[in-house]
């Protein structure tokens, strides 16, 4: 969902999260999650590496940016577009 449209009080499905569409929602299911609330406290880097391992494919690094945006949002931050986290990802290496 576009970050500007996210309603923190309405998080029933993965697509209710910022920057998450059907494909990324499927990635969470691939990782074994069934609700957005299960992602609270998740490490975005661990999610990314687990997805790469589970799919057998190195995922686009922007997927990590999306995971950062989601985990930060669930930790209480305002919803941001995924690209707001690209510089942070690149700085971490």
pLDDT tens readout for residues 34-50: 999 999 999 999 999 99
Residue where the block lists tokens 């993965």: 14
> What is the pTM (predicted TM-score) of this model?
0.95
Query: Would the pLDDT of 56 be above 90?
Result: yes
Q: What are the distances in angstroms from CA 93 to CA 23, 33, 45, 90?
A: 25, 27, 11, 5
| Confidence category of residue 93, pLDDT binned at 50, 70, 90 | confident
| Confidence category of residue 57, pLDDT binned at 50, 70, 90 | very high
Domain 10-92: which CATH number of 2.40.128, 1.10.10, 3.30.9, 1.10.150: 1.10.150
**What are the structural domain ranges in the chain?**
10-92
Tell how far CA 19 is from the center of its chain: 7
Express as a percent the part of the chain with pLDDT over 90.
98
């Amino acid at each position: 969902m576009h970050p500007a449209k996210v309603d923190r009080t309405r998080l029933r499905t993965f697509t209710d999260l910022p920057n998450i569409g059907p494909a990324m929602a499927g990635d969470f299911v691939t990782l074994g999650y069934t609700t957005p609330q299960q992602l609270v406290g998740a490490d975005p880097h661990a999610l990314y590496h687990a997805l790469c391992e589970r799919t057998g494919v190195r995922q686009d690094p922007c997927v990590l940016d999306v995971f950062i945006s989601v985990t930060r949002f669930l930790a209480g931050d305002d919803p941001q577009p995924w690209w707001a986290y690209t510089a942070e990802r690149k700085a971490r290496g």
